C-alpha cells in the first residue's frame, strides 16, 4: 500500500515538472477571474495586459520545453510507457501554434467594439481555458485524455461564443455550438467505448498493440473508427460535422471566430493525427478474424479521410459561393480549408508503412500559412467591423481607398487562402497536391484543383468589392497598434510564399 502511494507520488511529481506551461495557463485562468472581481476600478484593458503577460510567460516555459520527449502521468512497462500526455516535437508545434493564436486574439478583442465597455476578465479567462484544453488535446496519448481535452476546449469555446449576452446572434451561435457539440462528443464517446471493448485499453500504444495481435472484424472497427472520427471532425470543422460552423462563426464575436477557426481547428487536427498514428501503427496493417484465422488487413483510413476531405472542400466552397456575410463566407472557406488539411492527413495515412514514410511536413507547413492568412483576414474584419459596423461583403466596398493598408492585408490573405503565388497559401497547397499525387491519391488532388478554381469566385468577389466598387464613405483610421498587428500577420504570408525553403525544412522536424 505504502509502496503504491509512493509510486503515485513519484508519477505526479515527475509529471508536474514537465507541465509548467499548462500549469501557468491554469494559474492565468484563476488570476484573470480574481482580477475581474477585485480590480473593479481599473480600466477594462488591465485584464487584457494580464492575459498578454500570462501567455508570454507560458510561451517562455514552452520554449524551455522544446526538444523534450517525455510521456507523463503514467508508468513504464517493458514494451513502452503508458502515459496520458506525450510532450514531443509534434505536440510542441501545435501548442506553440495555439498559444500564438490566443496571443494574437488579445489585441483583436481589445479592439472589438462590443468588448470595449465591459469588464473582460471573464473572456480572457475563457480564452486561456480553451488554450489549456487545446494544449492537452495536442499532447494526448490516451483516448480519455483526448476526450477530456476536447471537452475542456469546447466548453470554454461555447461560453466565449455566447459571451455577449445582449447579442442575439451570439446566443444563437452559442446554442448551436453547444447542442451540436454535445451530440458530436456523445457519438465520439460511444465510439471510444466500442474501441475500448475491442482493445481493452485506451492508451494509444496499447490500442496499436492490441490491433496487431488480436482481433476484431473490420466492420466492428469501422463503426468505432467512424464514430470517433465524427468527434474529431467536429473540432476540425470538417465534413460530416461542419454544419455548426457557419452559424457559430457568424454569431460569435469576431475575435472568438478568429480563435476558433485557427486554434480550435489545429488542436482538432493534432489530436486526430495522434489517434490515427496509433490506429495505423506497425505498417498500417492489423489482423482481423477470430481464433487462429488471422488475416492481415489494412484499414480504410485513406478512403474515410480522403472522402471526408473531398466532401469538406466541395461543401465548403459551394456553400461559400452564395454568402453575403463576410464572417459566414470565411466560415465556409474554413470548412474548405479543413478539407485541404484533411488531404494532408489522408496522405499521411496512405503513406504509413510505405518506404517513403508517412510524412506530416505538408500538414505542418500549410498550418503555418493558414495561421497567418486566416488570422490576418479576421484581424482586418475585426478592425473594419468595429469602426464601421461592416458585416456584409457590400460593406467592404471601396475599402482599397478608405483603408488602403487594411485592404491590402485582407487582399493578400484572401489570395493566400485561394492559393495564388506569391503567397504562403500557394506553396502550402503545392506541397499538399504533390504529396497527394505521390501517394496515389490523384483523384483527391484533381478534386482539390477543381475546388480551388471554384473558390476563386467568392474570394475574388470580396476582392472586387474592395477595389473596384465605389463608395462615398470616409477614410477609416485604423490606429498604429492595429497596423502593427496587421504587419506581423501579413508579412509572413509573403515570406512563406517567397522564401519558403527554410520553413519547409523546419516543418519536417515536427512529425513523429
Q: Using CB under 8 A as the criterion, which residues of the chain lie in contact with another protein when the complex forms?
A: 144, 147-148, 151, 155, 158-159, 162, 165, 168-169, 171-176, 178-179, 182-183, 185-187, 189-190, 192-194, 196-197, 200-202, 246-247, 250-251, 323-325, 328
Q: How many CA atoms lie within 13 A of 373 on its CB side?
A: 33
474: buried, middle or exposed (CB in 10 Å: 19+, 13-18, 0-12)?
Answer: exposed
Instruction: Please identify, using beta-carbon distances, which residue of 247 and 359 lies nearer to another protein.
Output: 247
CB of 340 to another protein, least distance (A): 25
Instruction: Please identify, using beta-carbon distances, which residue of 226 and 495 lies nearer to another protein.
Output: 226
The CA distance from 65 to 67, in Å, is 6
DSSP annotation of 356 reads T
358: buried, middle or exposed (CB in 10 Å: 19+, 13-18, 0-12)?
Answer: buried
Instruction: Please identify, using beta-carbon distances, which residue of 68 and 222 lies nearer to another protein.
Output: 222
Instruction: Please identify, using beta-carbon distances, which residue of 7 and 324 lies nearer to another protein.
Output: 324
What's the first-to-final CA gap in the chain, in angstroms?
38
Instruction: Please identify, using beta-carbon distances, which residue of 322 and 457 lies nearer to another protein.
Output: 322
Among 359, 427, 175, 134, smallest CA distance to 269 is for 134
CB of 338 to another protein, least distance (A): 20
**Peptide bond just before 240 cis, omega within 30 deg:** yes
CB of 228 to another protein, least distance (A): 11
H helices, E strands: number in the chain = 21, 6
Residue whose C-alpha cell is 460593406: 395
Instruction: Please identify, using beta-carbon distances, which residue of 185 and 416 lies nearer to another protein.
Output: 185
Contact 85, 141 (CB under 8 A): yes
The CA distance from 434 to 108, in Å, is 36
CB of 250 to another protein, least distance (A): 5
**Peptide bond just before 422 cis, omega within 30 deg:** yes
CB of 175 to another protein, least distance (A): 5
Instruction: Please identify, using beta-carbon distances, which residue of 165 and 470 lies nearer to another protein.
Output: 165
Q: How much is the CA Rg of the chain, to the nearest whole Å?
A: 23
Contact 259, 295 (CB under 8 A): no
Contact 95, 139 (CB under 8 A): yes
CB of 234 to another protein, least distance (A): 13
Beta bridge partners of 81: 76
CB of 126 to another protein, least distance (A): 11
Instruction: Please identify, using beta-carbon distances, which residue of 157 and 478 lies nearer to another protein.
Output: 157
SS (H, E, C) 18-77: CCHHHHHHHHHHHHHHHHHHHCCCCCCHHHHHHHHHHHHHHHHHHHHCCCCCEEECCEEE
Residue whose C-alpha cell is 463566407: 329
Instruction: Please identify, using beta-carbon distances, which residue of 233 and 406 lies nearer to another protein.
Output: 233
Instruction: Please identify, using beta-carbon distances, which residue of 131 and 423 lies nearer to another protein.
Output: 131
Contact 258, 374 (CB under 8 A): yes
The CA distance from 507 to 185, in Å, is 31
CB of 85 to another protein, least distance (A): 16
DSSP annotation of 396 reads G
The CA distance from 91 to 174, in Å, is 29
Instruction: Please identify, using beta-carbon distances, which residue of 84 and 403 lies nearer to another protein.
Output: 84
CB of 218 to another protein, least distance (A): 19
CB of 492 to another protein, least distance (A): 32
4: helix, coil or strand?
helix
Among 287, 288, 434, 407, smallest CA distance to 347 is for 434
Among 67, 77, 93, 70, smallest CA distance to 205 is for 77
The CA distance from 225 to 179, in Å, is 22
For the chain, what percentages of helix, strand and coil (3-state, to nearest 5) are there? 75, 5, 20
Instruction: Please identify, using beta-carbon distances, which residue of 316 and 425 lies nearer to another protein.
Output: 316
Instruction: Please identify, using beta-carbon distances, which residue of 90 and 232 lies nearer to another protein.
Output: 232
CB of 231 to another protein, least distance (A): 11
Amino acid at each position: 500500500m505504502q509502496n503504491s502511494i509512493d509510486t503515485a507520488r513519484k508519477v505526479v511529481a515527475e509529471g508536474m515538472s514537465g507541465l509548467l506551461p499548462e500549469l501557468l495557463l491554469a494559474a492565468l485562468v484563476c488570476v484573470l477571474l480574481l482580477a475581474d472581481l477585485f480590480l473593479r476600478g481599473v480600466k477594462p484593458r488591465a485584464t487584457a495586459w494580464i492575459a498578454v503577460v500570462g501567455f508570454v510567460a507560458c510561451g517562455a516555459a514552452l520554449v524551455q520545453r522544446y526538444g523534450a520527449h517525455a510521456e507523463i502521468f503514467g508508468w513504464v512497462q517493458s514494451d513502452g510507457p503508458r502515459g496520458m500526455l506525450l510532450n514531443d516535437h509534434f505536440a510542441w508545434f501545435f501548442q506553440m501554434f495555439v498559444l500564438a493564436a490566443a496571443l494574437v486574439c488579445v489585441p483583436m478583442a481589445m479592439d472589438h467594439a462590443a468588448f470595449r465597455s465591459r469588464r473582460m476578465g471573464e473572456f480572457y479567462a475563457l480564452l486561456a481555458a480553451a488554450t489549456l484544453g487545446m494544449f492537452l488535446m495536442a499532447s494526448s496519448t490516451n483516448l480519455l485524455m483526448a476526450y477530456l481535452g476536447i471537452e475542456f476546449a469546447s466548453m470554454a469555446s461555447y461560453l466565449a461564443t455566447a459571451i455577449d449576452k445582449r447579442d442575439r446572434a451570439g446566443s444563437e451561435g452559442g446554442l448551436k455550438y453547444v447542442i451540436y457539440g454535445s451530440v458530436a462528443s456523445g457519438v465520439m464517446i460511444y465510439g471510444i467505448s466500442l474501441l475500448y471493448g475491442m482493445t481493452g485499453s485506451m492508451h494509444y500504444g496499447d490500442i496499436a498493440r492490441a490491433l496487431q495481435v488480436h482481433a476484431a472484424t473490420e466492420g466492428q472497427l469501422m463503426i468505432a473508427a467512424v464514430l470517433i472520427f465524427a468527434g474529431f471532425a467536429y473540432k476540425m470543422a470538417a465534413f460530416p460535422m461542419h454544419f455548426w460552423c457557419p452559424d457559430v462563426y457568424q454569431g460569435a464575436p469576431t475575435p472568438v471566430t478568429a480563435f476558433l477557426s485557427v486554434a480550435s481547428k489545429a488542436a482538432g487536427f493534432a489530436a486526430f493525427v495522434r489517434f490515427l498514428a496509433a490506429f495505423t501503427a506497425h505498417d498500417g496493417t492489423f489482423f482481423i478474424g477470430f481464433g487462429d484465422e488471422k488475416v492481415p488487413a489494412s484499414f480504410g483510413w485513406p478512403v474515410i479521410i480522403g472522402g471526408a476531405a473531398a466532401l469538406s472542400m466541395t461543401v465548403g466552397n459551394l456553400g461559400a459561393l452564395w454568402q453575403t456575410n463576410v464572417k459566414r463566407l470565411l466560415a465556409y472557406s474554413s470548412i474548405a480549408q479543413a478539407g485541404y488539411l484533411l488531404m494532408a492527413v489522408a496522405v499521411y495515412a496512405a503513406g504509413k508503412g510505405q518506404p517513403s514514410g508517412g510524412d506530416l511536413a505538408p500538414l505542418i507547413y500549410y498550418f503555418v500559412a493558414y495561421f497567418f492568412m486566416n488570422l490576418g483576414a479576421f484581424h482586418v474584419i475585426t478592425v473594419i467591423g468595429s469602426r464601421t459596423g461592416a458585416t456584409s461583403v457590400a460593406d467592404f466596398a471601396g475599402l482599397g481607398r478608405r483603408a488602403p493598408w487594411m485592404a491590402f492585408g485582407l487582399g493578400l490573405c484572401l489570395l493566400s487562402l485561394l492559393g495564388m503565388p506569391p503567397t504562403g497559401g500557394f506553396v502550402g497547397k503545392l506541397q499538399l497536391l504533390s504529396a497527394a499525387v505521390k501517394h496515389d491519391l490523384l483523384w483527391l488532388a484533381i478534386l482539390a484543383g477543381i475546388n480551388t478554381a471554384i473558390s476563386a469566385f467568392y474570394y475574388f468577389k470580396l476582392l472586387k468589392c474592395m477595389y473596384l466598387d465605389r463608395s462615398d464613405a470616409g477614410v477609416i483610421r485604423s490606429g498604429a497598434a492595429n497596423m502593427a498587428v496587421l504587419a506581423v500577420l501579413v508579412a509572413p504570408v509573403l515570406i512563406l510564399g517567397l522564401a519558403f525553403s527554410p520553413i519547409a525544412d523546419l516543418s519536417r522536424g515536427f512529425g513523429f
